[in-house]
Structure 1
């Protein structure tokens, strides 16, 4: 695989993908590996609140967040909450000079909107998210929706339907940003996926450094947002 080359400063890296693709685990690992290699980095979870709204819906006797606030209400809340999370993360790293390792970014919101069938909302979201710079590298963790479904069921903290996971995977593949993503096969073990990610960051994580050994696993994979298509190879 060809490493991603660029300037000496790695300001922002984003990891995106469908729920169950391993975003959270890999973002934690990457932040730890960069810091160990002398590039101080901070993990940021840019969730849109869909999991929290889903739990609230269940407590109120509704099957899911969309049945609680409606599709438009869900997309509005999700877009606003994620925008605020990303803005705070970028501001924090601007002040501290640390690398921002983003667990989800603006593409996750665009994919969520497409998966919900709310194309009108995508235009509004893009207008608002245009303020944010594109990450230096955006890793799309690609996993078969069926495998993602099994992972989500094993962790037992939330639930996603196969229909939703498949729609989210398709949404990622249709984004205009898709050709710029580094698509990483996330179907293997966490260590294997970590090695594939680091292979694209050799300028900051050279082979043979202490960061070449995968750090301990972070929190269980567990985003609540949609992401990622099925892919078997990394995109340069």
Structure 2
């Protein structure tokens, strides 16, 4: 649970909708807890989905028609700020590692994808109070794959335009070089292995992923011990080889 002398206090998982953040955040929190390092899953939602549902109930196509673009960004920024503040305070009081499903970078992305860049400066001023997570995983996935996943789960809907804009926004954030990129286009099990492999120095040996399967960049697989070779068969008693003129070999039994 420690890397050097630093304790793993906060891990964040970010990415566009449909990248698998919630699934992987739950799995990571469970893995840490099972290893004897209590962790808490925290979902830092912005309320955008809730606003969208409210708009639909009122007969409006989306949240922007309900409160306007600036209204959506204001509500999102405030609700996510409160969610992160509560999550950090709770984990501070309980001593648990905070596994964050979304973090401040997600709000900056939402602002950029909505085209409200002037809001980003205000948001960053407010979110500056929060510590930077020790590890931030960016679950990178093709927007087309993310769109298909969202449609299959059937609980909400996102347009390809929004997913593409959000994907571009993540890659243009000034924090982007500090993110740990995870190929979220793979199966959920493979993504879990990538995440846990990167956290290998924080996790006990018994929860490391199988090194024979994929691992994330920068983490060397653990060596697998090879079985000992079988013992050599005993040599034949007192046998000599004698050559024949035609090149073939002949076994000759030595007389006692």
Identify the residue that residue 68 of structure 2 maps to in structure 1. Answer: 70
Identify the residue that residue 221 of structure 1 maps to in structure 2. Answer: none
How far apart are residue 179 of structure 1 and its match?
Answer: 0.3
Identify the residue that residue 101 of structure 2 maps to in structure 1. Answer: 103
- CA RMSD after TM alignment: 1.7
- 1:1-236 aligned within 5 A: 7-207=5-205, 209-210=206-207, 212=209, 234=217
Structure 1: which 5+ runs fail to align?
Answer: 214-232
**Hey, which bits of structure 1, 4+ residues long, moved more than 3 A?**
4-8, 210-213, 233-236
Inter-partner Cα distance in structure 2 for 1:235 and 1:198: 12
Relative to total residues, which structure has the larger strand share, 1 or 2?
A: 2
Structure 2: which 5+ runs fail to align?
Answer: 211-215, 220-256
How far apart are residue 204 of structure 1 and its match?
Answer: 2.2
**Could you tell me the TM-score, scaled by structure 1's length?**
0.87
SS in structure 2 opposite 1:102? strand
Deviation string 1:42-82 (CA, Å, 9 cap, x unpaired) is: 00000000000000010011111111110000000000000
SS in structure 2 opposite 1:100? strand
Looking at both structures, which has the greater relative contact order when contacts are Cα pairs under 8 Å and sequence separation is at least 6? Answer: 1
**Could you tell me the TM-score, scaled by structure 2's length?**
0.80
Larger radius of gyration: 2
Inter-partner Cα distance in structure 1 for 2:207 and 2:197: 14
Matched residues, number: 213
SS in structure 1 opposite 2:99? strand
Inter-partner Cα distance in structure 2 for 1:88 and 1:210: 29
Inter-partner Cα distance in structure 2 for 1:206 and 1:120: 45
Inter-partner Cα distance in structure 1 for 2:217 and 2:178: 12
